[in-house]
Amino acid sequence: MDEFDFILKVKPNRTFQKNVKVAIGDDAAVYEPSLNRNQVVCVDTMVEGVHFLKHLSTPFEIGYKALAVNISDIAAMAGIPLYYLVSITVPSSWKEEELVEIYKGMDELAKEYKMDLLGGDTVSTSDKLVISVTVIGEVEQETQTLRSKACDGDIVFVTGNVGDSSAGLAILLDHVQIHNQHSKEYLINRHKKPTPRVNAGRLIGALYRASLNDVSDGLASELNEISEASNVGITVFKDQLPVSDELLSLSSANDIYKWILYGGEDFELVGTTSRNSWEKLKQTCDKMDLKITQIGLVDQKHSGVMLQTVNQELVRIEKSGYNHFRNK
C-alpha cells in the first residue's frame, strides 16, 4: 500500500471540537485549551498476540477497543475525552482494507463522544501489528479523582458488572463452554467492545471528594492501587459484588470469582467516597439509569484489601491481575 494514500483514506472529513485550530495535514495538530480546565492525557498500546488475536476479532472490533480503553482512563479522571492520535505499526500480513476497518472502529466510538482524530504515525514492521492510541481530554481545575483520595469510613463502589470481559475471553479461547447463545454473545461483546463510563466519571468528579480507578487489570489490582496510594485498608463484601445474569449462567462458581477479581478489561470504574456523597451519587445514577453498586468499605483496622466471604471470614486479596513483565 501507499502510506500517503492510506492516510487520506482514514483522514476525517469533519471536526467536532471548535477548539481545533489545525487538524490533520500539517506536521502537528493545534488546539486551544479551554479556560479554567486542566488537560488530561493518556496512552495505551495494543499488541497483536498479546491484547488481541486476529482470528478472534475483526479489525473494526480491534480499533473500537483500542480507543475505548483510553477513553476509560479519561473517565477515571472524571474528564471529557476530546481528541485522539493513533500510531500504528503495520506488518505485510495486514491488508489495507483491514487497516481502514480499524480506523472505522475507532471512528464509530469517536463520533459517540464527539472526539477528533488529530494525527499520529504509520510505519511498517516485519513483526506483529501494534496500535498506540493517545487520548487528550479536559477536566475542571478543581476536580481530582486520584487514587490517593480514599479516607477511612468511605464507601467502596463499582459501576456496572465485573467479570464479564474475562469470561468473554475464556469463551473465545474455548476455555469454557456455554450453551446459551444470548449469554455467549453478551459476554464476548463485553470483551470486544467495552463501554467507557464517561458519564459516571463526570458524576463522581462532581462530588466533594472521591478516588477512582478504571478496571483494566482486574478489580483486585485496582483496589490495591487505591489502598496503597491512600494508605488505607479496604474490605470488599463478596455477596455485594455485581454479577450479570449472563455470567451467573456459567456453571463454575470458582471461575466466576476468579474472573470478577482478577480478570480485568471490564473498564468499569471502581472508587471510594464519603457516605454522604455516596447517597447523592447513588440517587443520581439511579435516575440516569447508570448502574453503580456499593461493594465495600474503607477500614483502617487492617492494611491492604480483604474479601469478606458469606461466612464472615476475611481473606486477603493480593494485587494480582495481568502484568506485562510477569505474564509471559
CB 61 within 8 A of CB 50: no
Alpha-carbon distance 306 to 182, whole Å? 34
- State the cell numbers at 19: 477548539
103 is in an annotated binding site: yes
| DSSP state, residue 53 | -
121 is in an annotated binding site: yes
Short-list 104, 97, 102, 6, CA closest to 46 = 102
- State the cell numbers at 59: 479489525
147 is in an annotated binding site: yes
Chain CA centroid to CA 39, Å:
19
CA distances to 109, 213, 222 from 229, rounded to whole Å, are 32, 11, 11
Alpha-carbon distance 111 to 52, whole Å? 23
What is the DSSP annotation of 94-116? S-HHHHHHHHHHHHHHHHHHT-E
2 is in an annotated binding site: no
CB 162 within 8 A of CB 65: no
160 is in an annotated binding site: no
CB 115 within 8 A of CB 64: no
What is the DSSP annotation of 281-311? HHHHHHHTT--EEEEEEE-TTSSEEEEE-TT
| Phi (first) and psi of residue 290, to 5 degrees | -105, 120
265 is in an annotated binding site: yes
140 is in an annotated binding site: no
Alpha-carbon distance 177 to 316, whole Å? 30
Alpha-carbon distance 215 to 267, whole Å? 5
Cα angle, residue 302 at apex, residues 297 and 303 outer, rounded to 5°: 95
51 is in an annotated binding site: yes
Binding-site sequence positions for substrate = 51, 265, 322
Binding-site sequence positions = 27, 44, 51, 73, 103, 120-121, 147, 214, 216-217, 265, 322
Binding-site sequence positions for Mg(2+) = 27, 44, 73, 121, 214, 217
Binding-site sequence positions for ATP = 103, 120-121, 147, 216
